[in-house]
Chains A and B, each alone.
Chain A
Amino acid sequence: MNETQNIQWYKAQFEFFEKSLNGESRSHLHMLRRQAMVAFESLGFPTTRHEEWRFTNIAPIAKAELAPVLDYSGAGVAEADLARFTFGGPEGTRAVFINGHFSPEFSSLQTRPGVRIGSLKEATTRDAEIVNRHLARYVKSDENAFTALSTAFVRDGAFIHVDRNVEVVNPIHLVFIVAGSGIAVSPRNLVVTERGSKVSIVETYVSLAATQYLTNAVTEFVVGENATVEHDKLQDESLNGFHIGTIHFQQSAGSRVVSNAINLGGAIVRNNITAVLDGEGSEATLNGLSLATGTQHMDNHTTIDHTKPNCASHELYKAILDGKSKGVFNGKIFVRKDAQKTDAKQTNKTLLLSDEATIDTKPQLEIFADDVKCTHGATVGHLDDEQKFYLRSRGIGSREAEDLLTFAFASDVINRVHVEALRERLDAMLHERLQSGRQSRE
């Protein structure tokens, strides 16, 4: 299929979707969908001629006929499958989404005063005021075709609202499971945390089988004054799956966000993570780790937008690339005219485990204020021979030494992950992936 046909195909899907929506056609949400569909038609899928997509060729996604999943079904997911994707004790709150739709039977939602967790679909009526005020306001459809596509087919996802001064003790785990082949899944998540609140949220993206599909997820965080959001994301899609993940933090004065994004799966992965520091004294920390092998392609685009004075941002993005995998890092930092006393630091480090793996890394700093501190640095390298020899000289085998050093490279991102049970899971996953990566190399 060529590109025009492809857009027509999605348009037909959209018309079908519209007909299935009884009585919703005049809703605020549906207006957003229509606008997004129009935007998608005019944008089309990006090609490598677009500056933002120069290093990431999404033609395989554009060419595939990936049918949007319009309604919920269990899709053959069993409780046993869930155990692979969840962790920790029963005290935590777990919201499960199958093919982008909230699954009441697999979710366990703890109801605590001041916290609402559940499906976005439900929230569009129950919490209409909040949803209408925030949804699609920060992640706009007119710039990014994937966002437009996601918004056009927006149906369900996670909705979290934390009241003023409420501290949510246990982490909230959002589990997005894909079950099926040839489908496009667009979970749409909205997290609104009011002034002085605190919450820890984990997003994991996984699949039941090694099928081809697209996850096109958008998560908007609206972080109130002096609120704290701890965010961990684990992307472990099928090795034949595509993952486009857009995360946006809209931050008020004095708020604090720490986000750790771990990417292990996916054939083509593109993450767009944005923090807008839209209130004085706010702080954003974006960390990331990508582990890729085979022919995996992992692209992390981050944007930190300093719009107000006295804000700080820290960024540590790392990649471990094996086989013929390809990594991309693009780190934008904007410091607007009013954002005096900005303190921004960006670090990007890549470890290449094979000679055929490549990385394109690009810091992009645009500074319009004069009293600021902005630093950035990027390194690309192989395992250090001297470190390896040191380990071997103590009796540690050559392969074990390589694993140990690779793991050490990853550990300073892994160690920042907030939820201990996830950290432990990641430790085990990383060991396992490194081992299988090495076996395929030998």
Chain B
Amino acid sequence: MLEVRNLHASVNGNEILHGVDLKVNAGEVHAIMGPNGSGKSTLAGVLAGREAYTVTEGQVLYYGKDLLALAPEERAREGLFLAFQYPVEIPGVTNTYFLKAALNAIRKHRGLEPLDAVDFLALVKQKMKLVEMETDLLNRSVNEGFSGGEKKRNEIFQMAVLEPKLAILDETDSGLDIDALRIVADGVNKLRSKENATIVVTHYQRLLNYIVPDFVHVLLDGRIVKSGGKELALQLEERGYDWLREEVEATA
């Protein structure tokens, strides 16, 4: 589904990613872990099409096509979804209006008729249960005045409605208490299928107790320095990142 090859990316002339390789197949959950500043959010941003980042080398193939040649909205229509670390507040645009515009843009791209108000509402009501979201959040402006937990739930709710093929969760666990974390993780788990894949970007192992990954990758100074199974996350939780850094330096 996704193949990242030797990806180098910079922001304001500073290279953050120094050659990332990653392969994700349908049905898999990959966790990308790493300390602050290792390039995790940059990787997520480059994949979603954030304009602040410049790709200087390498390529990203998505279903065999050049992902980097697509505008952010085209990526979304092709089934890519980024759950934001800091969901953006948009005063004056209701959640419903926003989501309907997004869903119908994606449906149009797939050659489907737009959903009418009735069908849309039915779909939305069903998906809201997944993340135990209150109905009144629908009619409020996008993320405006939402608590940290509500914002993250809103991200997963959008994901549930838009049904992406590849979801990238960028630090979705940050700022969540344990109950909110469980709700968000349950939502993600219910959306897992053989056809879609998830990349979980996180600093802590905590979230991975709930969303169990098939693969764990450690990003350090802009490179994936170690990959393994879910047990690697536990190892990191116990020992931190320094031993890995030493290991990398020893082989360098």
Q: Does A393 contact B (CB under 8 A)?
A: yes
**Chain A CB within 8 A of B51 CB:** yes
**Residue B64 at the A interface, CB < 8 A?**
no
A391 near B98 (CB under 8 angstroms)? yes
Do the beta carbons of A394 and B88 come within 8 Å of each other? no
Residues in A with CB closer than 8 Å to B142 are 390
A407 and B92 within 8 A (CB): yes
One digit per residue, 1 when the CB lies within 8 angstroms of any chain B CB and 0 when it does not, for chain A 397-431 equals 11011001101111110000000000000000000
Q: Inside 8 A of A400's CB, which chain B residues have their CB?
A: 101, 105
When chains A and B are docked, how far (Å) is the Cα of A350 from the Cα of B120? 34
Q: Name B91's contact: one of A386, A389, A412 (CB within 8 Å).
A: A412
Whether, in the assembled complex, B158 has its beta carbon less than 8 Å from a beta carbon of chain A, the answer is yes
Judging by beta carbons under 8 Å apart, are B88 and A387 in contact? yes
A residues in contact with B156, CB < 8 Å = none
In the complex, the answer to whether B90 meets A390 with C-beta atoms within 8 Å is yes
**Who on chain A is nearest to B93 by CB?**
A408
**Is B73 touching A397 in the complex (CB atoms < 8 A)?**
yes
29 A-B residue pairings within 8 Å (CB atoms): A387-B88, A389-B49, A389-B50, A389-B51, A389-B88, A390-B84, A390-B87, A391-B102, A392-B71, A393-B48, A393-B72, A393-B73, A393-B75, A393-B76, A393-B82, A393-B84, A394-B98, A394-B105, A394-B158, A394-B162, A395-B73, A395-B77, A396-B98, A397-B73, A400-B101, A405-B90, A407-B92, A408-B93, A412-B92
A-side interface mostly:
helix
Interface members, chain B 95-141 (any A CB < 8 Å): 98-99, 101-103, 105-106, 109, 141
A204 CA / B11 CA spacing, docked (Å): 51
A393 to B50, CA, bound (A): 9
What are the 6 A-B residue pairs with the smallest beta carbon separation, nearest first?
Answer: A408-B92, A395-B76, A394-B102, A390-B88, A392-B72, A395-B105
Which residue of chain A has the shortest Cβ distance to B83 in the bound complex? A393
A91 at the interface (CB under 8 A from B): no
With A389-B50, A404-B93, A405-B93: A395-B102 Cβ-Cβ less than 8 Å: yes
Contacts of B48 in A (CB 8 A): 393
Inter-chain contacts of B105 with A (CB < 8 A):
394-397, 400
Q: How many A-B residue contacts, CB cutoff 8 Å?
A: 78
15 further A-B pairs in the complex, CB-CB below 8 A; given A390-B90, A396-B98: A385-B51, A389-B51, A391-B98, A391-B102, A393-B76, A394-B73, A395-B102, A396-B73, A396-B101, A396-B102, A397-B73, A400-B105, A408-B141, A411-B92, A412-B91
Contact partners of A404 in chain B: CB under 8 A: 93, 98, 101
Q: List A residues at the B interface (Cβ < 8 Å).
A: 385-387, 389-398, 400-401, 404-405, 407-412
A415 nearest in chain B by CB position: B92
Complex CA–CA separation, A410 to B92 (angstroms): 8
Tell me which residues across on chain B come within 8 A of A394, comparing CB atoms.
Answer: 73, 76, 81, 98-99, 102, 105, 158, 162
Instruction: Report the Cα distance A405→B92, complex, angstroms.
Output: 8
Which listed residue (A386, A387, A392) contacts B76, Cβ 8 A?
Answer: A392
Centre residue among B48, B72, B77, B106 by max chain A CB count within 10 A: B72
Q: Measured between C-beta atoms, what is the minimum distance from B57 to chain A in Å? A: 23
Q: A237 to nearest B CB, angstroms?
A: 27
Whole-angstrom CA separation of A395 from B163 in the bound complex: 12
Q: Quick one: given A389-B72, A405-B93, A411-B92, are A395 and B49 in contact (CB under 8 Å)?
A: no
How many whole Å from B12's CB to the nearest CB in chain A? 15
Residue ID in chain B nearest A408 by CB atoms: B92
Q: With a 10 A CB-CB cut-off, give which of B50, B76, B90 has the most chain A CB atoms.
A: B90
